[in-house]
Chains A and B, each alone.
Chain A
Amino acid sequence: MDKKVNASQLLRSLSEVDDIYINEAMTELNEPVKLKSGMNRAKVTRIMGIVAAAAVVLVTSYLLLRSFGKNSNTMQTTDAPVAEAEMAAGDLRERNGSASFSAEAASGAEPEEAEEMTDGLTYDATPAENLEVDMVVPFDVDITNPVEEYDSLDELSSATGVDISVPDQVGSSVERRFFAYDLRIIEVRYLDDEGNVVCAIRKAEDLYVDISGDNECVSEILKLDLEGLDNVRVYGGTDRFTAARWTSDGNSYSIVCEPLSEADITELILSVD
């Protein structure tokens, strides 16, 4: 009987779990990228690039088959349109300068740079929805890069209308770079003297979704009570944290960084506005 009571309590307590899991379960087949333990982000980015390229080939194949079918009453062999589609996809790739455009360009990183990220930081700047947007663009339309880089914080803010105040330096960083994703999410990226990303701070106005792009399963989630900020959570394990998410005044924020202590990541959160 005790177990039955406890099971009822367990069922009830599920109403109190983090909103993230409830919202996630309401998504259909739009599954997030699965990260196996030990699988680094650059590897995932490469796989996503291959998948995106394959999708471009499939979509163009479909479009070509359809248009070919409309213009001819004769039976078609599949080889010719597929070959044409591959050529079209090749042209697309050539125009965009990379076969894995969607994943790499969406992360704002050159292929070499994406490789470099594997050394220091588990970091993925690729919102999955960007990939889907790329895939449904008709093949005869130029694919625009959803990521824009700006020369300064002021330029970033004036282009997007999103203001952010961030520290000049984080940890061992020696350089800051400024990005906007679809002009909705802005990001300040901190790099060390070897070009490795040591921290990325993001902000989006009027978005109540997780904007961190971080899907890493972690062993520890800590909820922090910080004045003026809502739903502050830091993610990591064994007292070191590599990500933080919070909201404030209707804005969403995130940090993805090299492992920091609770005190250091709290200080970093409080330095962002």
Chain B
Amino acid sequence: MEDRIIIDKYFARDEQAIGDTRDKYGRLLRSIAYGILKSHEDSEECENDTYLKTWNTIPPTRPSSLQAFLAKITRNLSLDRYDKMHAAKRGSGEVPLMIDELEECIPDSAMAATDDESDSDELKRILDKFLAGLSPDARKVFMRRYFFGDSVNEIADRFGFGKSKVKMTLSRTRDSLKDLLQKEGYHG
């Protein structure tokens, strides 16, 4: 079913929209949540929360890409749940590893991040600019690792690359991101 038709059903407040969304994107959303939470039960709950949030957001929002729209919601809900689960101590799975790796991108001059919306808009702008300048291969590898939470092995299997190539690509890409953050004067 075309996304436009599913979105139209949300606008018409037709509950079948949720069933259609589950049929088309359920598996994808569970895999995104599982990449972060590493728990089938929690992933299913995040998937269901995604449908509820989507129901409450469309309308008024009319996403240009329903797939990306749902992926973002699931990712954010999964990160929220991860934070709650591991508020007191360092968690397990890919998230702490991703944070450790991304620390390498933070310029030494950066101060602690704030919740200021303008800071987050600025970071989004820099990230879009950064991604636009990457080669398609490097961009896909970077997004699989840090958006979807895929492990190096999973990325290597997905794209048919060697593990060392994936690691090298990620390392170089992080270096490039650090350079750009420095150049753009990112201070957290």
Q: Interface 1/0s, chain A 19-36, versus B by CB < 8 A?
A: 101111111110110100
**Contact B99 A4, beta carbon cutoff 8 Å:** yes
**Contact B127 A11, beta carbon cutoff 8 Å:** no
**Contact A7 B72, beta carbon cutoff 8 Å:** no
Q: A4-B99, A29-B159 are in contact. Are A11 and B105 (CB under 8 A)?
A: no
Q: A19-B68, A25-B148, A26-B28 are in contact. Are A9 and B188 (CB under 8 A)?
A: yes
A-B contact count (CB 8 A): 143
Q: Which B121-154 residues have C-beta < 8 A from chain A? A: 123-124, 127-129, 131-137, 139-140, 143-144, 146-148
Q: Which A108-138 residues have C-beta < 8 A from chain B? A: none
In the bound complex, what is the Cα–Cα distance between A31 and B158 (angstroms)? 12
B87 within 8 A of A: no
Q: A22-B71, A26-B67 are in contact. Are A10 and B102 (CB under 8 A)?
A: yes
In the bound complex, what is the Cα–Cα distance between A89 and B66 (angstroms)? 41
B65 within 8 A of A: yes
**Contact A14 B147, beta carbon cutoff 8 Å:** yes
A193 within 8 A of B: no
**Contact A208 B103, beta carbon cutoff 8 Å:** no
| Chain B positions within 8 Å of A17 at CB level | 124, 127-128, 131, 147
B165 within 8 A of A: no
Interface size on B (CB < 8 Å)?
A: 54
**Contact B111 A18, beta carbon cutoff 8 Å:** no
B170 within 8 A of A: no
Q: Which A1-57 residues have C-beta < 8 A from chain B? A: 1-19, 21-29, 31-32, 34
**Contact B146 A6, beta carbon cutoff 8 Å:** no
**Contact A15 B139, beta carbon cutoff 8 Å:** no
Q: Which residue of chain A lies nearest to B121 when distances are taken between CB atoms in the complex?
A: A16
**Contact A25 B144, beta carbon cutoff 8 Å:** yes
Q: A23-B65, A221-B129 are in contact. Are A29 and B160 (CB under 8 A)?
A: yes
B120 within 8 A of A: yes
B4 within 8 A of A: yes
A230 within 8 A of B: yes
Nearest-Cβ distance from residue A247 to partner chain B, whole angstroms: 5
Q: Which residue of chain B lies nearest to A246 when distances are taken between CB atoms in the complex?
A: B64
Contact of A6 among B98, B110, B135, B136 (CB under 8 A): B110
Q: A5-B112, A29-B159 are in contact. Are A10 and B106 (CB under 8 A)?
A: yes
**Contact B99 A8, beta carbon cutoff 8 Å:** yes
Q: Which residue of chain A lies nearest to B83 when distances are taken between CB atoms in the complex?
A: A8
Nearest-Cβ distance from residue B116 to partner chain A, whole angstroms: 10
**Contact A16 B139, beta carbon cutoff 8 Å:** no
**Contact A218 B124, beta carbon cutoff 8 Å:** no
**Contact B66 A208, beta carbon cutoff 8 Å:** yes
Chain B positions near chain A (C-beta within 8 angstroms): 2-4, 28, 62-69, 71-72, 75-76, 79, 95, 98-100, 102-103, 105-106, 110-113, 119-120, 123-124, 127-129, 131-137, 139-140, 143-144, 146-148, 158-160, 188
**Which A-B residue pairs are the 5 nearest by beta carbons?**
A19-B68, A25-B143, A9-B113, A7-B102, A22-B68
Some 22 contacts from A to B, beta carbons below 8 A apart, are A2-B112, A3-B103, A5-B112, A6-B112, A7-B100, A8-B113, A9-B188, A11-B95, A11-B98, A15-B75, A17-B147, A19-B69, A21-B143, A22-B65, A23-B65, A24-B140, A25-B139, A31-B136, A208-B4, A218-B132, A219-B132, A220-B129
